[in-house]
Amino acid sequence: MSELFSQLGIDFRLLLSQGANFFIVLAALTFFVYKPLVKILNERKERIEFGLRGAREAEERLAGIEALKKQKIVEAEKNATEIIRAAETDAGLRGGKIVFDAEVKAEDILKKASLIEEQRRLESMSKLYLEANALMRDALSKAVALRPEVIDEALINDAVDALKKEKI
């Protein structure tokens, strides 16, 4: 068998020294490369897991915030519709009050206008009666040119009163 190994060119001493070198290189690589590399990979794995947990928590928070946002929007819409309804009701009441006040003022203005018109009509009639009184006096004095002393105030007033009764 040693002949077989020698024909194949295998030297046990060389094989043994190469085995020892292999274990030395294996120990050095394990100690200086493999363990630090495994440590770095484990740390990276932990950071990735931490990031994934943080992402899940952020998604859960975001979902909670979205639900809260939707709830707040619904509440805000309800409040807005209540405010709008209250404003519409208030506006209707105020509009009705304004219309009522305007009608009352319009009636007052019409009453005042009719009073002013009546007052002006009475003033006009008074002036007309005074003018009629003066015209009657002149007409009677010309008609009774023969005896002007017969015309007195009572006669003129009776004629004006008769004229008033005819117009009424």
Euclidean distance between CA atoms 138 and 54, whole angstroms: 120
Place of tokens 């519709």: 81
Cβ proximity of 133 and 156 under 8 Å: yes
For residue range 110-162, what is the model confidence (pLDDT) as tens digits? 999 999 999 999 999 888 888 877 887 777 667 666 555 666 677 677 777 77
Residue 70 has pLDDT above 70, yes or no: yes
Rg (CA), the chain: 63
pTM confidence score? 0.41
